Amino acid sequence: MKILMFFSSGLGDALLIAPTIFALRNIYPSADISAAVPYVRFNKFLLENVLGLNNVLHLKRLRSLRPGAVVSYINFFCKFTKEIRRQKFDMIIVTVQACLPDQYFLARISGAKQRIGPRLWRGRNNTFRFLLTTQTNPNQHGHLINNHFEVIRSLNKDINVQKYVQKTTDTLISKAQPCGFTPITDKLIIILPGSGTQAYKRWPFSKYLQTAQEILNRYNCDIAILGGSGEYDQNLIPPHLANNDRFHDLSNTLNIPQLIDLFCNANLVLSNDSGLLHLAEFLNTPTIAIYPGNWTYVSKRYFDNDTRHIVLPKDQPDILAEQLLRHTWRNKKIQNLCRDVVNSVKTDDLINEIHNSGFL
């Protein structure tokens, strides 16, 4: 059995589909499972060493309608088509996040006899569902993990998603490697001020710094800040904070196995909506996360019904501007709306949640 899956390969996206991949491996133990994803190098370790994919194919996207870009993409599409036809896949899975027409046409052209994908896109009929042999039924207001898992339910209705959420957690923990960091106190808070390339989902870095200073004043704990290149300006960290022995800037120093080790030993993670947040959630580390709402049609907030995973702002609908999303996509109007929601959170809101949660 040879299986090819189309899905987004950001850290958080890959983690949220992980239970589905582990369940698929359980159904077909000897299967060769490959993924076609737009980004490989950032999450190669996760895709191959954690999720156990046999092969990862780079799926190029058409980013511009300029003649040169179109010609380049057509050349890629033809070569990619030949490659997947050569591999003779038995099953193609187009996930709920694979919303581009070319992924459906590739599934049809591949020659695979079984083609599984969602019947709906963002609450509406999937225009390209006629290219599928099996249609799943995602819940517009459901969790992304559950909607991915509809693929498994189409193959075996008796498989429980929670078993494979736990399998994901256990596998991640087994891949941990010592991070080499030892806090001064016996309490550690991790701050994740980034959000990948989606800057409009970030709570202002200055507010995180204010929060960090207030935490150090109130609690005998360490704070470690983590982020990727360009996610925040280290020059904004004031000297009195940078020189505090209990404040540690660990950005760009740890790989995924080391981050797993660090998160497993943390008492709390403060974060924007990001891939590293989802990693902390899967590791069952307590989190307080600032979400702008959700402007895809399914929720990534799988764990926030748990007292260990708190979401701010409080009482914010998960589907952000649902009516607006029926007519617009990722334009500046949506991004500004996300910023407004995120910026509505006050420093005191975060401090109060830390105090009330009992995590420290």
pLDDT digits (tens, 9 = 90+) for 103-131: 889 999 999 999 998 888 766 788 888 99
Residue-level pLDDT at 303? 59
Angle at 143 between CA 141 and CA 146, to 5 degrees: 120
Phi first, then psi, for residue 71 (nearest 5°) are -60, -45
- Average pLDDT on 279-287 reads 92
Check if 2-174 and 188-357 are the same fold: yes
Beta partners for residue 93, in sequence order: 5, 116
Helix (H, G, I), strand (E, B) or coil at 30: coil
- Average pLDDT on 324-349 reads 74
Residue-level pLDDT at 220? 94
Res. 296 pLDDT band, cuts 50 70 90: very low
- Average pLDDT on 209-216 reads 95
Can you give the residue ranges of every domain in the chain?
A: 2-174, 188-357
Angle at 304 between CA 301 and CA 309, to 5 degrees: 125
Residue partners of 60: CB distance under 8 A and separation at least 6 = 38, 73, 76, 80
Superfamily designation of domain 188-357: Glycogen Phosphorylase B; (3.40.50.2000)
Q: Report how far residue 198's alpha carbon sits from residue 11's, in angstroms, rounded to the nearest whole number.
A: 13
Q: Bigger pLDDT: 207 or 39?
A: 207
Residue-level pLDDT at 57? 87
CB 121 within 8 A of CB 128: no
- Average pLDDT on 77-98 reads 89
CB 269 within 8 A of CB 190: yes
Residue-level pLDDT at 326? 52
Q: Encode pLDDT of 299-324 as tens digits.
A: 556 555 567 888 888 766 554 545 44
Residue-level pLDDT at 323? 44
Helix H or strand E segment including 109: helix 101-109
- Range 2-174 classified under CATH 3.30.565.10: no
